Structure 1
Amino acid sequence: MAQRKRLSGAQTSSQAKRPSGSQAAPEDEDDQTFTLPSSSQVLRGMESLAPGQLEQKTAEVVQYFLVKDQKKFAIRRADIVKHVLKEQRNIYPEVMRRAAATFQQVFGLKLVEIEQKNHLYILINSLEPSAAAPPSSSTNPKTGLLFVVLGLIFMKGGVARENVVWSTLKKLRIDPREKHEEFGDVRKLLTEEFVRQRYLEYIRIPHTDPVEFEFGWGQRAEYEVSKPRILSFMGELHQQDPQTWSQQYREAHSSSSSTPSPSPSQR
């Protein structure tokens, strides 16, 4: 995927708001003041807790993630410490370890750190095969639209210019200039909501005048979405055997073995 400058607040042609997940500097400074406690500090922190307090804090962190995950937002370590753990920040590693185990055992979810620099976390479905399967007609229509765009990006080699995406959607009778009865504001959905949820990247193309953008797969999509299933979905959409796209077929089946391994982080 092209490693071009990721979209920031005032860079879109429509002056879109900055996607959450790329937070403002004051909030980032909150995380810079937090130093991961040593094992001895964690032990002392746990010893100072009242009976049941560790379990209570773990439950609060789990609830915090589940609420945020309803909108598929990435969660920052700084926000967990600031809004949930507060003065009990020394038990952060133990609470995260227990929360990760709860997500896995109770909900079939994996807690994944997608950005080590900014300490951003997401929840992904660890249950196969439904977790990464293309949507059926009975699922959320927005998910179906997302798979169409992800499929287009994949077929185009990892990035798709914005005008190509809009042109493709128009062929499906989805006009980004008009409000859609199921998707609402399609342009906003793709360039803001899916970007904020880390399903898509909306990338400014350097040295273009007027300014142009392209779409790429976001970090959440890389973890959650199976490329072989995306290719199968595109085959069904175009009524074509996926193996006829030999290059994409090889990439899909070679990349399926090298998908990022989702492992909980306690950083």
Structure 2
Amino acid sequence: MAQKRRAKGPGPSQGEDPDEDYALSQSASQVQRNLERLSPAHVDQKVSELVQYLLVKDQKKIPIKRADILKNVIKDYRGVYSEIIKRAGRTLQQVFGLQLMEIDPKHHTYILVSILPRLEVDNLKQDDCTAKLGLLTVILSFLFMKGNAAKESAVWEMLRRLRVDPGVRHEVFGDVKKLVTEEFVRQKYLEYNRIPHTDPPEFEFQWGARAAKETSKMQILRFVAKVPACGGAGGGENRTLKEGEGSDL
């Protein structure tokens, strides 16, 4: 009965939670029955559309919401949502070497994570993107050595020792503070939260969900061994962060 009522319901422009719940409430037998009523070519087309959508969204490294997938791609094919996303995930893995991973089960957000062998640092092109990864690795390493969280002021001081001043526009990173507190946070590499009961307000950084999926403690430990400043030890004050340095995420 619920399935029939949904079939007569609103069109694909609706992106409300009941539609999302419906998309995941189908049993395997229901999904199979729904597939039998659809053209295989049309289902394959939806799979291709979803793969393209996920690849485009991933370019900005912003987590992908399930609600957006339903609204912009799945539309009237909600009854076979689980099958479409399963096939899309298989294509991403086999063709592109990417794995679709849910990083927030509560809000149903996803990222694509590479499952290909990681490139060595020396083989990476030292462009602006690689330099940003180097900066991110330095920050993640510092947070790791501080128990996975550190005050904002401590992170800025650590970067100053590496001659990357958050208050001065950098020739490679541009607005460093904006890059760290907005771009890296939006991409889920970092979390940036106010520390409770602080007046004036103080903030801290923590590892984000994407960083936890894309790197490992062993990689960070290897990097920390190369950069004394990350552990807060001496010897880091005269070190300068160069383009591409440490970008082995």
Q: Is the 8 A contact 2:158 2:229 kept in 1?
A: no
Q: Does 1:116 align with 2:102?
A: no
Q: Which amino acid aligns with 2:67?
A: A
Q: Distance in 2 between matches of 1:188 and 1:194?
A: 9
Q: Is the 8 A contact 2:66 2:109 kept in 1?
A: yes
Pick from 163, 170, 176 the counterpart of residue 166 of structure 2.
176
Q: Is the 8 A contact 1:45 1:88 kept in 2?
A: no
Quote how far apart the aligned CAs of 1:238 are: 2.5
Q: Distance in 2 between matches of 1:114 and 1:130?
A: 24
Q: How does 1:10-21 map to 2 (within 5 A)?
A: none
The C-alpha deviation readout for 1:134-193, integer Å capped at 9, x for no partner, is 996726111000000000000111101100010111111111112211111111111111
Q: Does 1:33 align with 2:22?
A: no
Q: Which amino acid aligns with 1:138?
A: Q
TM-score, reference length from structure 2? 0.79
Corresponding position of 1:160: 150
Q: Does 1:141 align with 2:127?
A: no
Q: Which amino acid aligns with 2:190?
A: L
Corresponding position of 1:76: 65
Gaps of 5+ in 2: 1-14, 234-249
Pick from 199, 202, 210 the counterpart of residue 209 of structure 1.
199
Corresponding position of 1:56: 45
Higher helix proportion (structure 1 or 2): 2
Q: Distance in 2 between matches of 1:143 and 1:134?
A: 14
Q: Which amino acid aligns with 1:234?
A: V
Gaps of 5+ in 1: 1-28, 245-267
Q: Distance in 2 between matches of 1:199 and 1:161?
A: 16
Corresponding position of 2:237: none
Pick from 179, 184, 189 the counterpart of residue 199 of structure 1.
189
Question: Taking structure 1 as reference, are residues 135 and 175 closer, same or farther at Cα in structure 2, changes over 3 Å only?
Answer: farther
Q: Distance in 1 between matches of 2:125 and 2:192?
A: 27
Q: Distance in 1 between matches of 2:191 and 2:225?
A: 24
Percent of matched pairs sharing the same residue: 52
Pick from 202, 213, 220 the counterpart of residue 210 of structure 2.
220
Q: Is the 8 A contact 1:176 1:187 kept in 2?
A: yes
Q: Distance in 2 between matches of 1:226 and 1:136?
A: 19
Question: Taking structure 1 as reference, are residues 137 and 102 closer, same or farther at Cα in structure 2, changes over 3 Å only?
Answer: closer
Quote how far apart the aligned CAs of 1:30 are: 2.2
Q: Is the 8 A contact 1:31 1:77 kept in 2?
A: no
TM-score, reference length from structure 1? 0.74
Give the alignment's Cα RMSD to 1 decimal. 2.6
Q: Distance in 1 between matches of 2:18 and 2:107?
A: 9
Quote how far apart the aligned CAs of 1:67 are: 0.4
Quote how far apart the aligned CAs of 1:229 are: 1.2
Q: Distance in 2 between matches of 1:172 and 1:239?
A: 8
1:174 aligned counterpart, secondary structure: coil
Corresponding position of 1:231: 221
The C-alpha deviation readout for 1:5-42, integer Å capped at 9, x for no partner, is xxxxxxxxxxxxxxxxxxxxxxxx72343222232332
The C-alpha deviation readout for 1:105-160, integer Å capped at 9, x for no partner, is 111111111111111111111123449x7996726111000000000000111101
1:52 aligned counterpart, secondary structure: helix
Question: Taking structure 1 as reference, are residues 134 and 119 closer, same or farther at Cα in structure 2, changes over 3 Å only?
Answer: farther
